[in-house]
Chains A and B, each alone.
Chain A
Amino acid sequence: MPDYKWPEPGTTALLGKRLNRLDGPAKVSGAAKYTYDLKCPGMLYAKMLRCPYAHAKIVSMDTSAAEKLPGVAAVHIVQGPGTEIHWADDDIVAVAAVDEPTAEDAIGRIKVVYEKLPHLVDERDLQKAGDRAKRSAEQVTGEPDQAFLDPDVVVIEGEYGTSVVTHCCLEAHGQVVEWEGENVTVYPSTQGVERVVGQYAEGLKVPAANVRTLMQYVGGGFGSKFAADRWGLACGELARKAGKPVKLMLERKEELEVAGCRPSVYTRVKLAAKRDGTLVGWQSEAWGAGGPGGAGSPPMPYIWAIPHQRKVFSSVATNTGPARAWRAPNAPQGCFVTMCAIEDMAAKLEMDPFDLVMKNNSLLGVRAELYRQELLKAEELMEWKKKWHPRGDRSPGPVKRGLGLSLHTWGGAGHASNCEVTIHPDGSVEVSLCTQDIGTGTRTAVVIVAAETLGLPVEAIQLHIGDNRLPSSGSSGGSTTIGGVSPSTRRAALNALEQLFNKVAPSWGVAPDQLEAVGGQIRVKGDPGKSLSWKQATTKLGVMPIKEMGKQPGPGELNSSGTAGVQMAEVSVDIETGIIKVNKMVAVQDCGLIVSMKMSESQVYGALIMGIGTTLLEERVMDSITGRMLNANLEFYKLAGLADIGELVVHMWTDPEQQKRGPIGLGEGPMVSPGPAIANAVANAIGVRIPTLPLTPDKVLATLEKGGLA
């Protein structure tokens, strides 16, 4: 049996190096074909009639005028009379036509009568939520009442919140569906090529064995693209009815309203600490909303094992598009509340929050020492001690500067994965697994692992992904992909190599385990005279290729979980205009063994940039009167642009201890801290806390009116 482990640190040819993204050339030249780009012969285009009300009952509908319109091929009622609709823009009727304008014209001819019902779309005032709020049981740890009554503790009280933000994938949700008899091929825009198979089978009432799903590129998911979705099944029904392939992609407005959001959280917090900064007590009343299903309870206090706690959470059901997993579900909200309260405590104690965080290091559990080291590194990269000043920049002029920090964690253990490696007698190599590259670099990572293991250049590997007929390898979510596909690929490649060694070793009269694959050669360890080129070696296979599987989990320690991470932000706030500029952010991030350095860094840069957007700009704005989203477009749902991001410093933590842990997912951890790091920097700059995200200029000015430097 092969020795299943990762190469020794410092011995790798490809692993952890600065290789380019393998599908980079396809993406920069427009050659990468996304679901949205696909066109099959005879393909029809579908549009959806959507409910204009946030809460309503369908009384009656008439689709006859749409059906009669020339060019319309199929009409499918998604939700018919009698159905109660719980959010605006929910799917009602889908139409497939020869082109998009005809489908749009047909939608306009459908008549639906609704009975309007009372709606709730604004959860900011918990009192007004009434029976829409479901209060969970109070959680108590230690003796919080006594902790807060202790005359020697300092107590701060604060209100902290984050608004609902959307996923806003640039490639909207959607798919192309094509039938051939009882078999159906779906081209979804998804984070789970295999995961949606069962959903299509069930929804379209065909055996799962009849469903094929294919996808090579997806234009963003961020947690929102795991389901076939009602519109996917409607697309399937239209295609079946019309007898032609149908494409249905959401419009931008629909993407923002119904295709996923991150729940809000609002809190009233009390935090108690000894005068030396030791955190002793936490008390929080929190609530949040994420659509009809309410919201999950964010972890509070986040990562700090404060000994005495009392907390309660209410989930508010609103008539808004349903929440979906959004990069590190619940963690950014919990981290924001916790790290803001800690910063406010430091200000009250007149301590540098860096010192307060260091002082409480022991509350960070198993990764306390790693956090300590990462904090020191971040301090160095930010020059925190040199730049930090007590709360409120007293320097003259309207532009105030400040520093803030935050810490985070994420699991990132690998999901189950199966990989098949084929070595052909002509030397060519195929690696096959049903994973998908959602922009994280999975394609590149799998090839790096296979090439490293086989001692080949990356160009020698042909990779097959994005097809449910390939070996099962999980969805891309929860930062589980890299920790799943890397070990399965490594094991498959080691297994295949063992078979190749078995064929080659006899000619040298050595045991197969005395061989190694390095630099495009198969050779005897420590005997440079005995070597064959890869191609010479594989000709010994005769006519049959080697096909070997590798599994995760499997033998050997190739995988672990649990990461730390520290971020610091430096901002300028103009107290006359309220405009905040992020001057610099520093991220120090571990993620076990790094497979691809460039793509790992890109993940962290991306998290910082997305975090700047969600902190300063992004907010789903609902209109309480109409129950509709007011900013379901890219003019007023503001994403960060190139001008918004400042200097970004990313430091990947790569000590030998980390390399022994195997690859750990990185998509989510670094997404957790930007909000509190920036918000704390703003409080440090202007002397007061802006309680809720996003930190828009109007909020800065309104907060300054109540106190602070203005």
Chain B
Amino acid sequence: MKEDERKPTKPPSPRGMSRRKFLKGVGVGSSVLGTGILGGPLLPEAEAQAASAKVFGPSAVPIELTINGQRRSLKLEPRVTLLEALRDQLELTGAKRVCDRASCGACTVILNDVAVYSCSVLAIEAQGKNIQTVEGLARGSELHAVQAAFVENDAQQCGFCTSGFVMSVKAFLDKHPNPTPEQVRLGLGGNLCRCGTYAGIRKAVMDAAKALPASRNRSGQGGNPNA
């Protein structure tokens, strides 16, 4: 019987595939997202294959994260994303959940020098890495050059995408200290803004690139000391 002929009928799942269910389904350490850090895939068939592997969860487990240079101990379910851990447990709310599936960049944080979508990284995967969030970028009241350039060029309106954008720009400039406009165009395509602040952001990136050599040695606390 076709779906639209049923009447009355039971509803299909009201939700599509969420990021959480997806991550939960493939499991950390499975062949899909394997990082080698942890075992314990959650699919039944995979579970059987990896019966000897170390299993985490499903209930809360103690973990340790290094965030903005500080070690933080937490207890959370393995299905909790890095974004949720930051926001709900550590009250670091600069990173935002917007698309919840690695499309918009509002949740961007820097993991060992690489800008990542924290909505699509499990908190337990981030153990042993340097996690830098927007809250760790400024030194007291002195803004990081990227932040200062965002303010100066009014590269923000409602501000909801701004934290993620600032982190993407920071990671981008660390890799491309003297970017061409074309590099900026392509390198920062992974963050979305609804108010339309890209004109200011483009200028801010170039201004920050100029300002950074002077301040590069004192980039925000918690940055990788080997960078």
Contact = CB atoms under 8 A, between A and B. Distances in A.
Chain A partners chain B: yes
Interface of A: 20-21, 23-34, 36-37, 39, 49-53, 59, 89, 99-101, 104, 107-108, 111-116, 168-172, 217-222, 251-253, 438-441, 598-599, 601-603, 605-610, 613, 625-626, 632-635, 639-643, 645, 648, 650
Given A112-B11, A642-B202, A645-B199, A625 B158 contact: no
B194 A610 contact: yes
Interface residues of B, number: 72
20 contacts: A20-B154, A21-B151, A27-B156, A28-B151, A30-B133, A52-B13, A52-B14, A107-B15, A112-B11, A253-B15, A598-B154, A601-B154, A602-B197, A605-B200, A607-B196, A609-B199, A610-B194, A626-B4, A634-B98, A641-B198
Interface centre among B94, B195, B201 (most CB of A within 10 A): B195
Interface in B153-193: 154, 156-163, 166, 184-186, 188-189, 191-193
B81 to A, nearest CB: 11
Interface string B5-43: 011111111111010100000000000000000000000
Contact of A634 (B12, B135, B192): B192
A29 B137 CA distance: 7
B133 A642 contact: no
Nearest to B135: A30
Nearest to B150: A28
B120 to A, nearest CB: 13
Nearest to B201: A642
A252 B100 contact: yes
A219 B96 contact: yes
A168 B94 CA distance: 20
Contacts of A218: 158
B152 interface: yes
B135 A21 contact: no
B106 interface: yes
Contacts of A641: 189, 191-192, 198
B196 A608 contact: yes
Top 9 closest A-B pairs, CB basis?
A30-B94, A609-B196, A219-B160, A439-B158, A27-B159, A606-B196, A439-B157, A37-B93, A24-B151
A599 B159 contact: no
Given A252-B98, A633-B101, A21 B156 contact: yes
Contacts of B151: 20-21, 24-25, 28
A598 B152 CA distance: 9
Given A24-B151, A626-B4, A602 B188 contact: no
A28 B147 contact: yes
Contact of A642 (B12, B152, B156, B184): B184
A642 B101 contact: no
Contacts of A29: 94, 134-135, 137-138, 143, 147, 163
A51 B188 CA distance: 37
A21 B104 CA distance: 24
B75 to A, nearest CB: 13
A328 to B, nearest CB: 14
Contacts of A251: 15, 18, 100
B3 interface: yes
Could you say which of B6, B188, B193 has the most chain A C-beta atoms within 10 Å of its C-beta? B193
Given A116-B6, A634-B103, A642-B202, A170 B96 contact: yes
A375 B12 CA distance: 55
Contacts of A99: 88
B53 interface: no
Contacts of A26: 159
B124 to A, nearest CB: 15
B198 A642 contact: yes
Contacts of A32: 159
B154 A171 contact: no
Given A29-B134, A634-B192, A635-B103, A170 B160 contact: yes
B195 A439 contact: yes
Contacts of A25: 143, 147, 151
B98 A170 contact: yes
A440 B16 contact: no
B9 A114 contact: yes
B211 interface: no
- Most central of A221, A251, A602 by chain B CB within 10 Å: A602
Contacts of B50: none
B158 A170 contact: yes
A261 to B, nearest CB: 14
B45 interface: no
A630 to B, nearest CB: 11
A514 to B, nearest CB: 39
